Amino acid sequence: MPPPILELSRVTKHFGGLTAVNQVDLVLYRGEILGLIGPNGAGKTTLFNMIAGFHKPSKGRILFKGMDITGMKPHKICKLGIARTFQITKPLKKLTTLENVMVGALPKEKTVPGARERALNILKLMGLDHRASLPAGTLTPGEKKRLEMARALATDPSLLLLDEVMAGLTPTETQDMLELLRKIEAQGISMVVVEHNVKGVIRIAHRMVALNYGQKIAEGPPHEVITHPEVIKAYMGEEGPCFE
Amino acid sequence: MGKGKTLFWLIPALLIIILIPPVTGSVTTREGVFLILMYVTLAVSLNIILGYTGYVSFGHIVFYGIGGYVAFYLMKFHGIHLIPAMIMGGIGAAIAAFALGEAVLRLRGAFFAIATIGVNEAVKALVNNLNFIGGAEGLFFNFRIYNTYGGATKAIWFSYYTMAALTITTVIAAYLIKKSKFGLGLMAIREDEDAAIILGVNAKRYKSLAYAASALFPGMVGAVFFFKAGNIEPHDAFHLIKSIEMIFMVMLGGYGSVTGAVTGALVYERLKGFLLVNPLFKNLHMAISGVILLLIVLFMPQGIVGFIREKSKKLREMLE
């Protein structure tokens, strides 16, 4: 088994009286794609926010490549090699698509022309090169999702946190996105994929983790996790599927 | 992204304006152009924090006042020449901005704008009560100070050329910042600060540095202006109306664009001149400016230059 790239131990986050994430342990191995599922409010995005440095965990530790990154500033975590996308895309609307990706490339590239070069290559990979000189605000929702990915890739990550990259995409776009994820996987980048689109995520994830009310309720191979009684209960309610 | 196309016409255009007074020898024109240059420098500087970074520094005139006081003090009590005093004034303003920035730049949107007004008023109140720099009455030059420059007349011409050099430097610096890694990071912060941070932009540091850069040149402008005036007092140095004028110029011309800030300053100077000499409007010029600002924000938020940039792809690279 390859060495772990990300280790979470007993990570907890309280917001006032609400415990959004409760004592979650999680290990991600190098080159692995981990699917993270769970109903609304399960704590998936909060978990992402803590790994990326947006929230400081109330308790617990986060190790990246063996280094403690708990409570570190987001821009530092980014430089270490963790990139994330946002569920609601955050394009830099008035900047061009190219400039958007250049922003991501800048911390690693010393010069502006170097960043432009790198950004152009990534736009080609993402099939967005024909949009390079347009303001990012004018892209379609599907293109904005790809732009989020492109920017994240521009930071040269070894771990990619993807928050609902398939949500709201048409079936064709979903297909394209899956192919894209396989290309990224081939580059040796590890991924944590948060998805509502369970059908999409089981086709790509090596392993899955299910959360509910901030707690881990199941972990294992994708098909095992989605048929786990706790997971079905979390999605369908106590009585089991009501359409039975 | 064009390679310096904007500067190729903008700098010669400014040089032509600068050369009008010495060529014609007209003192009235010199005063007018001095004011234009001052406005241009202030607007282009404010644009770094307001236009590039998206933080509305409402009390920006505080840095003009700080620079003015630092330089005036050094010239009056230590006999320091205008040029080094001006640089010290600028650096003083920039340091003040950096330090303030670490505190107030945590605030976003309207909260930041209000905090900067508070800073300006607080500094004004402080200076009013500091006796070693003249308190409410301010400081006056002994006219012998101008002898170093060959008498009062020559000293005024000297301050004119200093202002001209300062304006050109500011425009070039603002352009280079916009085209740099730093500038791209600032614009990313303006568009979406959270996204910028996640992409590795050290937003906190970038904002403080942008604030310092946008305070440096106004500090130097204050130094030159009060050297020429021969006296400095808190009411003049920290006049909130001047702050509002600066914002007006940036918004009118087009925030985020160097050409926009320059254009806004030129148009505002003409507009103000027209309104002030017109008996019908002379007491209403701020009210009219306010209405115009409202109309810009509502119907042309990108300003004059921003509007042209949107309409014409060809001109875009010329109007950075």
**pLDDT tens digits along A229-244:** 999 888 887 664 554 4
A80 vs B: CB within 8 A: no
Nearest CA in chain A to B199: A104
What is residue A205's predicted lDDT score, i.e. its pLDDT?
A: 94
* Of A78, A90, A91, Cβ closest to residue B200: A78
Which of A190-199, B154-163, B183-192 is predicted least confidently? A190-199
Give the pLDDT confidence of B72-113 residue by residue, as tens digits.
999 999 999 999 999 999 999 999 999 999 999 999 889 999
Give the pLDDT confidence of A180-189 residue by residue, as tens digits.
899 999 999 9
Which has more pLDDT, A1 or B201? B201
And the tokens for B178?
Answer: 């916009």
Interface of B to A at Cβ within 8 Å reads 179-181, 184-185, 187-188, 190-192, 194-203, 256
Reply yes or no on whether the pLDDT at B281 is more than 70.
yes
Query: Which band of pLDDT confidence, cut at 50, 70 and 90, is reported for residue B3?
Result: low
Contacts of A102 in chain B (CB under 8 A): 184
* pTM: predicted TM-score of the whole model, two decimal places: 0.91
Q: From CA B143, how far away is CA A199, in angstroms rounded?
A: 84
Closest CA to B37 of B53, B56, B20, B23: B20
And the tokens for A8?
Answer: 């979470």
Query: Could you count the other beta carbons within 10 Å of the beta carbon of residue A6?
Result: 23
What is residue A239's predicted lDDT score, i.e. its pLDDT?
A: 60
Give chain A's residues under pLDDT 50.
240, 243-244
Q: How many CB pairs under 8 A join A and B?
A: 77
Give the pLDDT confidence of B36-54 residue by residue, as tens digits.
999 999 999 999 999 999 9
Q: From CA B278, how far away is CA B202, in angstroms rounded?
A: 50
Q: How far apart are the first and last CA of chain A?
A: 41
Helices (H), A137-221: 141-154, 171-186, 198-202
Contacts of B180 in chain A (CB under 8 A): 112
Within 8 A by CB and 6+ apart from A196, the residues are A37, A164, A167
Three-state DSSP class for residue A106 = coil
A107–B199 C-beta distance less than 8 A: yes
Q: From CA B233, how far away is CA A142, in angstroms rounded?
A: 58
B188–A74 C-beta distance less than 8 A: no
What is residue A244's predicted lDDT score, i.e. its pLDDT?
A: 43
Query: Which band of pLDDT confidence, cut at 50, 70 and 90, is reported for residue B60?
Result: very high
Reply yes or no on whether the pLDDT at B263 is more than 80.
yes
Helices (H), chain A: 44-51, 74-80, 97-105, 112-125, 141-154, 171-186, 198-202, 222-226, 229-236
A155 vs B: CB within 8 A: yes
- Which overall architecture, per CATH, does domain B5-319 show? Orthogonal Bundle (1.10)
What is residue B1's predicted lDDT score, i.e. its pLDDT?
A: 44
Residue range B107-128: mean pLDDT, rounded: 95
What is residue A35's predicted lDDT score, i.e. its pLDDT?
A: 95
| DSSP-assigned letter for residue A135 | B
What is residue B2's predicted lDDT score, i.e. its pLDDT?
A: 47
Residue range B195-206: mean pLDDT, rounded: 94
Closest CA to A173 of A204, A136, A140, A142: A142
And the tokens for B145?
Answer: 């100070």
ipTM, interface predicted TM-score of the complex = 0.87
Residue range B121-133: mean pLDDT, rounded: 96
Contacts of B198 in chain A (CB under 8 A): 52, 54, 74, 78, 83-84, 86
What is residue B16's predicted lDDT score, i.e. its pLDDT?
A: 97
Query: Could you count the other beta carbons within 10 Å of the beta carbon of residue A2?
Result: 9
Give the pLDDT confidence of A83-104 residue by residue, as tens digits.
999 988 999 999 999 999 999 9
Residue A47, amino acid: L
A111–B185 C-beta distance less than 8 A: no
Residue range B283-297: mean pLDDT, rounded: 86
A104 vs B: CB within 8 A: yes
Residue range B169-184: mean pLDDT, rounded: 96
A112–B192 C-beta distance less than 8 A: no
What is residue A87's predicted lDDT score, i.e. its pLDDT?
A: 87
Contacts of A156 in chain B (CB under 8 A): none
Contact status, residue A92 vs residue B189, Cβ threshold 8 Å: no
A75–B203 C-beta distance less than 8 A: yes
Closest CA to A78 of B310, B231, B196: B196
Average predicted confidence (pLDDT) for chain B: 94
Portion of chain B with pLDDT greater than 90, in percent: 83
Reply yes or no on whether the pLDDT at B311 is more than 90.
no
Question: All domains of chain A, ordered by start, with CATH?
Answer: 1-73+160-166+191-244 (3.40.50.300)
A111–B199 C-beta distance less than 8 A: no
Q: How far is A69 from chain B (nearest CA, A)?
A: 15
What is residue B305's predicted lDDT score, i.e. its pLDDT?
A: 93
What is residue B314's predicted lDDT score, i.e. its pLDDT?
A: 83
B200–A95 C-beta distance less than 8 A: no
A111–B203 C-beta distance less than 8 A: no
Contact status, residue B45 vs residue B202, Cβ threshold 8 Å: no
Closest CA to B145 of B72, B88, B223, B232: B72
